[in-house]
Amino acid sequence: MEVLSKSKIIALLSDEKNEQQLWQQADKVRQENVGDEIHLRGLIEFSNICRNNCLYCGIRKGNRFALRYRMSEEELILTVKKASQMGFKTVVLQSGEDLYYDQARFCRIIEAIKKFDIAVTLSIGERTYEEYKSFREAGADRYLMRIETTDKDLYHKLDPNMSWQHRYECLLMIKELGYELGSGIMVGLPEQSIESIAEDLLFLREIGVDMAGIGPFIPHPQTPLAKEQGGTLALSLRTMAVMRLLMPDINIPATTAMESLHPEGRIQALQAGANVVMPNVNSSEYMKLYELYPNKPIEGFSQSDIAKKIENIGRTIGKGYGSHKHKE
Ligand code: SAM
């Protein structure tokens, strides 16, 4: 398939007038390449303790108003068991960068939860090669870590004491170790240009992601970026749709942040190129405390509610693990 040029991507991202056509085209490409199944992943946010201080993030270390929590090993395993009993074939274990979960503890957790016959995605940030390797050997299948932006100057402004190059190298290690690789970006960061978003999309294609998560940046009131404007749902949907055109057979989630901007945000995303939903399986108490951005939907997962919404748009819930199936 012909790769879209950077100038064509910029034109598509900028074209508000014809966005409906773009969304329809992405929906068609999605249908032809990954079909009508929507894969559900049970999202478990197991700790909001973080050693980093990303300017945009509500659980940044410097937010002294955030009430911190951390599930115990047993609680986390029980939560995965619950997710498996609800019918999930994949769980996503996400947290701040919380080193309490060291290599040994995390390997124990992964080994315990693999007994539930479930695909395991980790989203716990930057670790050493040795840790990534041991998590993979313990049974982790996928890893999700957004590059956030490929504008290195912007990255270093927004993620103090972090290195873009190091994050990139982590993504390469993860891929080399045979994980399915998920990455992605935020749309609408301060000073982020459309050209930079186009470069982000080409970067995700270049590193060969199996999953691309694209969501709007939503300013959190207890962060240094509280007064920024944030991203719009429309530009986020256009970005996601172009991602689908660039990588027709990958998994693309309808992100929770889209739902925070509009009650039907995720359904719109599913009709503009997305094929994955990650319902939160935590208790509402934990959901509230894992506040990356405001207005996050705090709702218990109900298989019947989501099934109905999915059915209403003519789609079905996938019954398998929902891995990336390469078409080329
Ligand atoms: N610590 C892990 C990591 O670094 O990948 C996973 C947790 S991190 C909080 C998950 C993602 O939340 C980030 O990659 C970022 O894209 C997103 N995020 C954080 N703050 C946000 C905000 N204010 N608006 C939208 N997304 C946000």
User: Would you kindly state where each structural domain of the chain is located, as residue ranges?
Assistant: 6-12+19-317
How far does residue 60's CA lie from ligand 1's centre (Å)? 10
How far does residue 139's CA lie from ligand 1's centre (Å)? 24
Q: What is the pLDDT of residue 296?
A: 87
How far does residue 222's CA lie from ligand 1's centre (Å)? 15
Atom of ligand 1 nearest to the CA of 57: 20
Atom of ligand 1 nearest to the CA of 220: 23
Helix, coil or strand: residue 204: helix
AA letter at 175: K
Closest CA to 140 of 91, 207, 189: 91
Which residues sit with their C-beta closer than 6 Å to ligand 1? 56-57, 94, 96-97, 123-125, 145-146, 148, 186, 215, 217-218, 220, 257, 292-293
- List, for residues 69-98, the tens digit of each pLDDT value: 999 999 999 999 999 999 999 999 999 999
> In this structure, what token pair is assigned to residue 237?
């949907």
pLDDT < 70 regions, the chain: 1-2, 303-304, 328
Q: What is the pLDDT of residue 70?
A: 98
List the residue whose alpha carbon is closest to atom 3 of ligand 1. Answer: 125
Atom of ligand 1 nearest to the CA of 145: 5
Atom of ligand 1 nearest to the CA of 56: 23
List the residue whose alpha carbon is closest to atom 20 of ligand 1. Answer: 57
Closest CA to 213 of 288, 293, 275: 275
Q: What is the pLDDT of residue 1?
A: 57
Q: What is the pLDDT of residue 106?
A: 97
DSSP classification of residue 302: -
List the residue whose alpha carbon is closest to atom 4 of ligand 1. Answer: 125
Q: For Cα atoms 182, 298, 159, give the angle at the middle one, nearest 5 degrees.
A: 45
DSSP classification of residue 278: -
- List, for residues 131-176, the tens digit of each pLDDT value: 999 999 999 999 999 999 999 999 999 999 999 999 999 999 999 9
Distance of alpha carbon 147 from alpha carbon 129, whole angstroms: 17
List the residue whose alpha carbon is closest to atom 12 of ligand 1. Answer: 292
* Dihedral in degrees, nearest 10, Cα atoms 59, 64, 66, 71: 80
Distance of alpha carbon 235 from alpha carbon 232, whole angstroms: 6
How far does residue 312's CA lie from ligand 1's centre (Å)? 30
Ligand 1 pocket mutation, candidates 166, 168, 186, criterion most atoms within 8 A of CB? 186
Q: What is the pLDDT of residue 230?
A: 98
pTM of the complete model beyond 0.75: yes
The superfamily CATH assigns to domain 6-12+19-317 is: Aldolase class I (3.20.20.70)
300 phi-psi bin (left φ>0, alpha ψ -120 to 50, beta other) = beta
Q: What is the pLDDT of residue 299?
A: 74
> In this structure, what token pair is assigned to residue 146?
């957004």
Atom of ligand 1 nearest to the CA of 219: 23
Closest CA to 70 of 50, 52, 92, 47: 47
Q: What is the pLDDT of residue 310?
A: 92
